Each structure stands twice: as C-alpha cells, then as structure tokens.
A and B are shown apart, each in its own frame.
Chain A
Amino acid sequence: MKKGLAVWSVIGAVCLVMTCGFPAGAADDVIKIGVIGPMNFMQGKGHWGGAVMAMEEINAKGGVQVGDKKMKIEVIKADSNEFLSITDATNAMELLLTRNKADFVVGGFRTEAVLAMQDVAMDNKKIFIGCGAAHPELCTRVAKDYNRYKYFFRGTPFNSMFLVKTCFIQMATVAGILKQTLNIPKIKVAIVAEKQVWADPMVAATQKTLPQLGMEEAGVWRPSQTATDVTAELSAIQSSGAHVIFTIFSASVGITFARQAGELKIPAAQVGINVEGQKEGFWDATQGMANYVMTMNTYARDVEYNELTRPFVDEYIKRYNEVPTYNADTYSAIVSSIVPAIEKAGSLDSDKVVQAIESGVPHKVASGIIDYIKDEEGRPLHELRWGPGYLTSLGVQWQDGKLVGVWPNKWKPAEGAPEITYKGIVPYKIAPWIIEKYKK
C-alpha cells in the first residue's frame, strides 16, 4: 500500500513538473512578446492596446517570416503594478521571461521600475523595448556596459533632456503669443512642479533658462503629486502676477490643478508637461474645466507627422474610442522594430536581432523617424534621436472639449532653417479670462 502510494506520488510529481515546466500550446509556432505595464492604469492600457493592434495586424498578414517558416505573434499581458510596488514589477518581468517564455518584451513606465525590470531582462538576455520611461540612465547603461545592456532599446518617449528642451520651446512660443497679443512687456512665469525626483532637474533647468528666454520667474511651487487641493497655491500664483504657468506634472495633481485653475479662472496660460492632460479622459476628469490647458503630447486627432500617423491614430480610436497615448507606441516597437529585425536576422536569437535592430535605423514610425544616437565617446546608447526630421512630439491644447495640436506651427528650429508645421495643426488659443485681464 505504502509502495503504491509512493509510486503514485512520484507519478503525480512528475506530471506536476511537466505541466508547470512546459507552457501550453505549440511554443515553436509562435513568437511570444511580453507586454509589461501597470495594466489597471491608463499607461498599461495604452501598452496593451498598441501591442494587440500590432499582433492582429501582423497575424492577419500571415505572420512573421523567420528563416524558412512563418510564425504568428502572441502577446502576453503582464501587470507590473509599478505605481505601487517595484518588486511586483520585477516579479512580473521574471515570470514573463521564465514561466511564459517571452521572446521579447515591450512596455514599462516608471523609471525606478523600468531600471529594475531592465536588469531582469538583461540577466535573461532578452530584448526589452522601453515604452514609457524617459530617464537617460536607461540608455547610459547601454553605453557603459554594452555587452550586458545591449538588449535594451528606447522605444518611446525621447529622453527627459529632450523633453525639457521641447517644453521650453513650447513655453517660449506661448509667451511670444501672449506678449504680442496682449502687449505684455515682460512675461512672468510661475513654475509649478509636482514633488517627484524627475521634476527636480527640470525645475532647476527652468529657473536657469527663463532669463535666457527674456522671461522673469514669478516663483516656484512644489505641491505633492497626489495633492487634491491646490487652491492655496493658485491664490499665491495669482498674487504673484504670473502670465504663464509652466507645469511639470505626471500624476493626479495635474487634474486637480487644471480643474481648480479653470474653475477659479486664474489669468495665466498653462503650458509644459501634464501627463494626465494628454488623455482623452482629462476633460471629464476636470469636469470640463481644462479648457486652454496646453501640454506636450505625442498624438492628437487629425495631426500627421507623416503618412503612417493617420492610419495608426484612426485605427486606435476606432478600436478603443480614444487617442493613443505615447505608451501605445508598443505598436511601433513591434511592427517597426522587432518584426523587421526578426525577419532580417532570420532568427529569434537575441544577439542577432539586436544587430538587426541597430542596423534597421533610421526607419519611419507613426510619430516620426526613429534613429539612435551615440554618446560623446561614440558608444551606442540605443537612445532616440530628437529633432526636426526625427522625433519632435507635439504641443496640444484643450479647446472646447477637444485635444488639438497647436505646435509646431511655423516653428523655425534654427536661424535660416525652414519652418515646420505638421498637417492638422491649428492656432493656439488664449483663454478669454486672460485676455480680459491683460488686454489694454
């Protein structure tokens, strides 16, 4: 009896190991792409939405040509829960690579979490295309230790140094419009940045840059990123006489600030980064008080960087009933980087695919042209190139419930350079209460 029990136990254990050790399905026929992100939040939904679109589009065309056989794509959802726990994020990445046997990974949002997830992916020598975090360190690691970090590529957005540069250009554009329209001799700028690490260097850079742009600093306010009441800050900003509010928000304070500023009709134009303001739900979240708020963004309805933008944005809106956020560039990461590289390499081998991705740039995507820059010593960074003709992003403004593109509009990147205006860009609008306050 005891012997029988022991035999059955061994058989049971073997079955259990077999079941757990081998994933279901015919693993040889599919390319598994892990999509990792905070799936209960807008960012993760964007990651997933873009990746599903890419999978369906590629599979509908018959799949990916890998050597002499066609392989379908399967996307695997992994909730990183990275807003709340970085450990959850690394665990999710570990499971994706070891249990789900993902061949490639796209996604990630918070720099702190992506840095940790990056290490897990590198340990497993799997290609990870980041589609959310902007910190330069993610790519500096590639240059410093290429053999270990070469499997990481930045998919979107361009790094925070370029983000700041773009924001300053957009702020100067708005300041110029206010100055010209309302005859304001010197523009005063209130810097309002959430208290997060990523915003600290941006505040310092803004303070340094304002005098160079011919503007004056009205003050710096640092509310908590989750502040639910900023009326005190708004009263102080109004008292400071600021004409422009340069916002640096990635979290919920962006909604609170826009809503309360709109309700109180604070006579200063909001420009900068407001991540919540990039989303379709922002209008409802602010109860329609976000009119005239401007923020940097990647996509807007009816705005085209090139001929690939419109089909992507329109299809995304058709499927999900909202404009894609930059996190949905998991679509481009799969369609324009991973798949062509696999076909070129004729293999799923990470080292071969890395080489194919590196040699596959520049290439066109829905948000511009992807190219990778090198560091000062000429080492590969796998970092996106910013600038006219490559990636610039957009300046978008809420106008009567619609998020429209307002920048670049006749933007001259350099003296003598041709003006840039993307198709579908409309003029920037000044809030009526600002006009009322300053119009002489």
Chain B
Amino acid sequence: MYGLAILLFFNFVGVLLHEWARIPLPGSVLGLILFAAGLFSGLIKLQWVESTSHLLLRHMLLFFAPVVVGAMALSGILRQQWPSITLALTGSLLIGMLITGWTASALMRGRDDQP
C-alpha cells in the first residue's frame, strides 16, 4: 500500500503541475519525471515502491483494455477515407519504429560491453 500511495501522490502532483503551471505534458508523464527525480536523488527508496510498480507494470495492458475498446467503438469515424488512413497509419508506424531502432543499433555498434 505504501508503494501505491507514493505512485498516486506523484501522479496527483503531476496533474496539479499540468493544471497550474500549464506545462504542456500530461500529468502522468510529469509524475513519471518527478518520481524518477525522487528515486535518483535517494528521497524515495526503491524497496518502498518496487513490488507495487512491478504489479502495475506487469498488468499495464489490462489498464489499456477499456481505452482500446473505446477506440474500437468509435472507429466508425474512420469509415470515410479508410484506405488512406490504413496506409498512413501502418506505413508511418513502421517508418518511425525502424528509424529509431536502426539509428539506435547503428550508434551502439562496436560497443559490445552493453546490450
């Protein structure tokens, strides 16, 4: 419970920061950045949050399920122009993914000390 309390606290601080300081990143991503700062500074001990985080992250796909069901339910708005949408969605996904993966692999080549 300790871990969940800490995660919810940072989530809420992130949401507050997004609302008040008008930082153009979502509250959960701001919470992630602040929580990372807490871990790296040693303010938050890893053992306080490790088991809760592990549980939440192992089942993160579950939390996305209602969002994906929503997208499927609303996907009627894609009906017009679906050929161009399908082409662009698939094509640009592969392009963005492969550019990142190939660039990272190329820049890490020859340094077999790390994965």
A and B interact physically: no
Taking Cβ atoms with an 8 Å cutoff, the residues of A that contact B are none
Taking Cβ atoms with an 8 Å cutoff, the residues of B that contact A are none
